[in-house]
């Protein structure tokens, strides 16, 4: 049993968050993860507040366990969704793709645990001062909107700089990744890519098949020039992005190319021209399993490794 500060704080059994993946992480996936003892997270993505509220009501019908909602701060509805979440008094809010500073006060007043994604030591410190409960530090190995630093470098530096729990994200797909995150000082992990293959995940089957087939070098980052770098599996859309970059296309042209492409892949199943967001760990994500099995398997493996992890004489890793 791996029980950490974040388990105690959030009343969860396993210190694992399911990544709030835009267009993908709905109430069904989040409920399955929370029921299995992790923290299920509904992604609000670019959705208007009423659509997100509907998801919250649906998860409450399925589970009494703690769940989270992810606010994607680049969304045109970020402000309205943030107010609605305070109103609904959701148990946990995770934020991504920006600075949630102006919302922290209303969320804390509503008794909500607030856990932003921090891309650097400076942001982690800043968020801690603003009163958040923990931070998620996501390395550039992650899928979707990414920062610059790797998980391996980001986690220990943030752990040394703040006094709140740090959750590691980016590149974690099995028990080895979990054990490594604990070695770096993390109090928990957030996993996205592996949950794409969860039985309860409703992403299009074509998307799942592409994740299953992916190898270690099959992701690329598009849109670095636009200021919105996004890690995806390589396909025809990535070639189109490269072509635009080669021709010194304007930022507007590149942003136009990316628009609506996640929906195209995740909902419509067009994995040639859609945006198939995925982490670099996709190469070891190969089997479809229920959420409960994913979580149990990952933590059994992590526990075994941590028990045997000893470089002193007699240890199995000698």
Q: Which residues bind ligand TUI (CB under 6 A)?
A: 22, 72, 74, 96-99, 117, 119, 123, 138, 144-147, 228, 230, 262, 277
Decide whether 23 or 65 has the Cβ nearer to ligand TUI. 23
Decide whether 41 or 112 has the Cβ nearer to ligand TUI. 41
| Distance in angstroms (rounded) separating the CA atoms of residues 308 and 318 | 10
Decide whether 11 or 102 has the Cβ nearer to ligand TUI. 102
Q: How far is the CB of 166 from ligand TUI (least distance, A)?
A: 14
Q: How far is the CB of 179 from ligand TUI (least distance, A)?
A: 23
Q: How far is the CB of 100 from ligand TUI (least distance, A)?
A: 8
3-state secondary structure the chain: CCCCHHHHHHCCCCCEEECCCCCCCCHHHHHHHHHCCCEEEEECCCCCHHHHHHHHHHHHHHCCCCEEEEEECCCCCHHHHHHHHHHHCCCEEEEECCCCHHHHHHHHHCCCEEEEECCCHHHHHHHHHCCCCCEEEECCCCCEECCCCCHHHHHHHHHCCCCCCEEEECCCCCHHHHHHHHHCCCCEEEECHHHHCECCCCCCHHHHHHHHHCCCCCEEEECHHHCCCEEEECCHHHHHHHHHHHCCCCHHHHHHHHCCHHHHHHCCCCCCCCCCECCHHHHHCCCCECHHHHHHHHHHHHHHHHHHCCCCCCCCCC
Decide whether 268 or 301 has the Cβ nearer to ligand TUI. 268
Q: How far is the CB of 140 from ligand TUI (least distance, A)?
A: 9
Decide whether 37 or 279 has the Cβ nearer to ligand TUI. 279
Decide whether 59 or 115 has the Cβ nearer to ligand TUI. 115
A 10 A CB-CB count for 177 gives 22
Q: How far is the CB of 195 from ligand TUI (least distance, A)?
A: 14
Residue nearest to ligand TUI (CB): 144
Decide whether 40 or 119 has the Cβ nearer to ligand TUI. 119
Q: How far is the CB of 270 from ligand TUI (least distance, A)?
A: 16
Q: How far is the CB of 304 from ligand TUI (least distance, A)?
A: 30
């Amino acid at each position: 049993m791996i029980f950490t500060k974040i388990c105690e704080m959030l009343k969860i059994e396993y210190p694992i968050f399911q990544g709030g993946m835009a267009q993908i992480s709905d109430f069904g996936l989040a409920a399955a993860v929370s029921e299995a003892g992790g923290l299920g997270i509904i992604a609000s993505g670019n959705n208007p507040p009423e659509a997100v509220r509907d998801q919250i009501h649906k998860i409450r019908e399925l589970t009494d366990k703690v769940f989270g909602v992810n606010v994607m701060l680049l969304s045109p509805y970020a402000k309205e969704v943030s107010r609605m979440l305070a109103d609904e008094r959701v148990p946990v809010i995770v934020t991504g793709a920006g600075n949630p500073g102006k919302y922290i006060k209303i969320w804390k007043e509503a008794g909500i645990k607030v856990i932003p994604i921090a891309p650097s030591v400076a942001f982690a410190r800043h968020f801690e001062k603003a009163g958040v409960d923990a931070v998620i530090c996501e390395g550039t190995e992650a899928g979707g909107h990414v920062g610059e630093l790797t998980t391996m470098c980001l986690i220990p530096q943030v752990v040394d700089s703040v006094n709140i729990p740090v959750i590691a994200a980016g590149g974690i797909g099995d028990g080895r990744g979990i054990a490594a995150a604990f070695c770096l000082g993390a109090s928990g992990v957030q996993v996205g890519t592996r949950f794409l293959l969860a039985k309860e995940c409703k992403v299009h089957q074509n998307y799942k098949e592409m994740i299953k087939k992916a190898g270690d070098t099959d992701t690329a980052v598009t849109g670095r020039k636009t200021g919105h770098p996004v890690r995806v599996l390589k396909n025809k859309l990535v070639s189109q992005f490269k072509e635009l970059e080669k021709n010194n296309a304007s930022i507007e042209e590149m942003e136009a190319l990316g628009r609506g492409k996640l929906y195209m892949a995740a909902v419509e199943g067009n994995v040639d021209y859609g945006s198939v967001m995925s982490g670099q760990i996709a190469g070891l994500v190969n089997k479809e399993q229920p959420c409960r099995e994913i979580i149990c398997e990952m933590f059994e493996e992590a526990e075994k490794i941590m028990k045997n992890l000893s470089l002193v004489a007699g240890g199995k890793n000698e």
